Every structure is written in C-alpha cells, then in structure tokens.
Structure 1
Amino acid sequence: MKIRLMNMVKIYDKNTKKVLVLDKKKKEGREGLTFPGGKVEKRESFEDSVIREAKEETNLDIKNPELVGIITWAYTNKDGEFQKDVGLLYETPDFSGNLVKENREGLLSWIDYEDFKKMDNMSDSMPEILKIYDRKIREVYWDVDKEDILYY
C-alpha cells in the first residue's frame, strides 16, 4: 500500500468573513475551487508543510495553523497499487504579506465563505471537506473505488 500525505489550509479574514479560494487548473482530476495546499515532503512536519505550501501558492506567510480534521481518499492508483492520500486540513486567520493572484496551480481570490459553500464549480471533494471546516464532522474516509464515503 502506498500512502501520500497532503495538506490544505483555509485562510480567512475574521472581519470580512472571506476565504482565500484557489480555482485549480486540471491536475490529477482535482480541478475546481478549493483551498491552497499540497504534499508533505520528506523530513517535514505537517505544520511546516502547510506553512510552506501556503507561501508557495499564495505568497502569504501564515501563522498558527489549526488542525481541524482529516480526509482520506483510498483508491487503486494507475499502477494497480492500493493507495491512500491523507489530507490534513488546517485553518488560520493569521496571515501577512502580499497575495499573488495567479500561480502554477491556478487563480486565487477572496470569496465570502457562505457564498463559496453554494458554488457549483468546487473540486469534487470540497463539499465533504467543508463539513469538516464547519465542524459538522472531523474526518472523511472516501473509498473512491467503491464510491463510498464514511463520516466520523
């Protein structure tokens, strides 16, 4: 079994209730509106990885990211091997710097959080991920092969 560790961060403005949303270009079938994030690298802590990914994708320096939940995608990869992608979901209102609105992943914009939750062009997993950010659940296990989703 192969395991890939990933992260995502909901960067939000406490005053305006807006969140930083990435309109991700097609990449591994995960295109659409999402939050910034990426893979955890060797010898890197989870928190360091989310701080680094936020900087790489947004040019913002985030602080005090809070771990709020986990999403796991379990599936048979293109090599026929069973794989789990484990996403650690963070959020923070603590950021500084100048936002870069476009990067290799796509376009970034500030969107009202309640409006974002109603948009139909989210990445496939965002409706499930938003349940975690809204504190309705703390974990999602998505068996992609079986098209089965479990909530905890």
Structure 2
Amino acid sequence: MQRVTNCILIQHNKVLLLKKPRRGWYAIPGGKMEPGESIKESVVREYREETSLHLQNPELAGAFTFTVHNAGEEIKEWMMFTFVCNVSKGELTEHCDEGILEWVAQEHVHELPMAEGDRKIFEHVLSKSGMLYGSFSYTNDYDLLDMRLDPSTP
C-alpha cells in the first residue's frame, strides 16, 4: 500500500495549494513516503521538494485511507497523512514540476475544483481542531462513491 504525506500551510489567512495540470484540480502539496521515513520526515522533505519551503513544526491533522474502484473492483489503495502548519522558512520556488503553486485566501478554498475528499479535509482543518480520520472510495474517474469520517461531518 502506498503511503503519502501532505501539509496544509496557512499563513496570513492564505493556504498554499498546488493546481495539478491533469484535471485542473487543487491539491495539498506533498507526496510519497520513502522506505524507512517517519511521516513527519516525509512531509518536511516532500513539502521542501515541491515548494522550496521548510515547514516549522507541522502537526498531524488527519489520517486517511483512499481506494479507487473500477467496475466494482478495487484497483488502487493508499494511506494519506495530512499535516497542518503555520510557519515556514525560505522562499517559495517559482517552478514546481507537479503543477502551479498558488496562495489562496482561506475563505475561497471551498470554491475551488478539487477531489471531494480533499474538500472534507479542508472543511475540518480550516474550521475545527483535533484529528480527523477517514476513508474515501472513488471511481476510476475520481467521483466519490463513499466516505466515512471520524469525527463525522455533515
């Protein structure tokens, strides 16, 4: 099973997001864990690789399982560990191989095109405290089939 870490960096009431070219969806910067890495080591490394920013004291905000299904068969599964952070050091890179980095006002994040699971994660992190646990099931085209969240959200 693939393991992924990402971080919601919030500074000056803005969130740094990554606009992915394939779908035009916004995502949380991060990426795949390397063998032997802790989830915190992974998020710091991945975030720096994508943004050139050095996260300062990221805190775990959520742990999630994702599955993708095609014709009722599970074809992909991964775990994602989402952190939140309010302080970074360094200068934002001008070029990211993964897409376009963009600071977005917190109040506008919910208006952006993104995976529905990410939308629920943002709702929690931007308005509540504490850990969010969840499981999301998608079609091969990333239409949400099912989700379970703890604590549950409307």
Measured after TM superposition, the shift of residue 48 of structure 1 is 0.4
CA-atom RMSD, angstroms?
2.2
Q: Structure 1: which amino acid aligns with 2:89?
A: S
Q: Which position in structure 1 is the counterpart of 2:146? A: 148
Q: Name the stretch that deviates more: 66-75 or 141-150.
A: 141-150
Distance 2:74 2:124 in 1: 28
User: Under a length normalisation based on structure 2, what TM-score does the superposition of the two structures give?
Assistant: 0.81
- The C-alpha deviation readout for 1:2-57, integer Å capped at 9, x for no partner, is x11101101111xx20111111122xx7x511110111110111000000011000
Distance 2:74 2:67 in 1: 11
SS of the aligned residue for 1:98 comes to coil
Q: For structure 2, list consecutive stretches of 5 or more residues without a partner in the other structure.
A: none
Measured after TM superposition, the shift of residue 76 of structure 1 is 4.7
**Percent of counterpart pairs with the same letter?**
27
Q: Which position in structure 2 is the counterpart of 1:5? A: 3
Measured after TM superposition, the shift of residue 123 of structure 1 is 3.5
Contact 1:72 1:140 in 2 (8 A): yes
Distance 1:143 1:33 in 2: 19
The number of aligned residues is 142
Q: Which position in structure 1 is the counterpart of 2:96? A: 103
Distance 2:99 2:132 in 1: 28
Q: Structure 2: which amino acid aligns with 1:11?
A: L
User: Under a length normalisation based on structure 1, what TM-score does the superposition of the two structures give?
Assistant: 0.82
SS of the aligned residue for 2:36 comes to coil
- Give runs of aligned pairs for residues 76-95 of structure 1, distance below 5 A: 76=69, 83-95=76-88
